[in-house]
Amino acid sequence: MKNEMVTVVIPCYNQGKYLSETVNSVLASSYRPLEIIIVNDGSKDDSLAIAEQLKNIHPEIKLIDQPNGGVAKARNTGVKYASGDIILPLDGDDKIGVDYLKKGVEALKNNPAVKVVYCQAVKFDGKNENLWNLKAFSRNQLARDNMIFVSALFWKKDFEAVGGFSEDMVMGREDWEFWIKMLKKEGEVVQLPFIGFYYRLTPESKRKKTGTNKKKQLRIDYLNAKHFDFFDRELNGPLRFQRTWSKPYNTLLKWFGLLKN
């Protein structure tokens, strides 16, 4: 029986100085067959030139060059042209471990109910490396916060069923909304018991740019508008700015008749 093709989609925006390291971490994978689709998202540095060099050396690599449209659009473009039945998004400055794809594919194939597979992870900045403390998955926990980084494996058909990443979610954490779309009704999640993902911390890291209170509120408003049924089921009402207090606060308001279903 042939292995399923895995497509690793790498959106890249001004990450030229890290791109080769990211791509090489995928090429070092113990799993085959795989393809790498680099989507140059209108970079202004040397990302496109480096991507072209990598493509000319490695037959596993495809390259798409498009005007800047944001990371969600870049990921969607990559998945659209993916040959693989299984997808792994990987940002242009992050890395994966040697056995992540192999063990991830096994977990997806071993149980048809599994929709998402991820692993343990570390954050690094070139000098220090620290374990990323990720909460255990549950739908209730997912309603309050995201515990699945974007570089998880999933079936392309499940991606297409929910319409991919929401390109209008420009205030950050579009991966959180994607997992809500994919998992709010059904589907099991597996976290592999080893470190297989390396998240690079840089001054340009998107998580830093989207951590302001204004963007947090915009994000919460967006999520409530699109997925109120999910939050109402899990949190007894909308997601609140103080996310961990959402359920007790909503429950108290309902008890006093101040929040209607």
Give the pLDDT confidence score for residue 35 in this predicted structure.
Answer: 98
Q: Could you give the percent of the chain with pLDDT greater than 70?
A: 96
Q: What is the pTM of this model?
A: 0.95
Mean pLDDT in residue range 38-67: 98
Rounded to 5 degrees, φ, ψ at 209 are -75, -20
**Is 90 exceeded by the pLDDT of residue 128?**
no
CA–CA separation, 234 and 192 (whole Å): 25
Specify whether domain 6-211 bears CATH 3.30.300.30. no
User: Which is more confident, 227 or 125?
Assistant: 227
- Is the pLDDT at 206 greater than 80? The verdict is no
Give the span between the Cα atoms of 20 and 211, in whole angstroms: 28
Query: What is the three-class DSSP state of 128?
Result: coil
Can you give the residue ranges of every domain in the chain? 6-211, 212-261
Mean per-residue pLDDT for 22-38?
98
- 151-160, 174-183, 222-231, 247-256: least confidently modelled range: 247-256
Q: Containing H/E element for 162?
A: none
Residue-wise pLDDT tens digits, 54-107: 999 999 999 999 999 999 999 999 999 999 999 999 999 999 999 999 999 999
pLDDT at 260 over 80: no
pLDDT confidence tier of residue 210, bands split at 50, 70 and 90: low
Per-residue pLDDT tens over the stretch 156-187: 999 999 999 999 999 999 999 999 999 999 99
pLDDT at 39: 98
Give me the chain's average pLDDT, please.
Answer: 95
Cβ–Cβ under 8 Å, residues 183 and 142: yes
pLDDT for residue 142: 98
> Across the strands, what pairs with 8?
36, 88
What average pLDDT score do residues 129-133 get?
94
Question: What would the two tokens of residue 79 be?
Answer: 């998945």
**Average pLDDT value for residue range 147-159:** 98
The answer, yes or no, to whether residue 129 has pLDDT greater than 70, is yes
Q: What confidence score (pLDDT) does residue 14 get?
A: 97
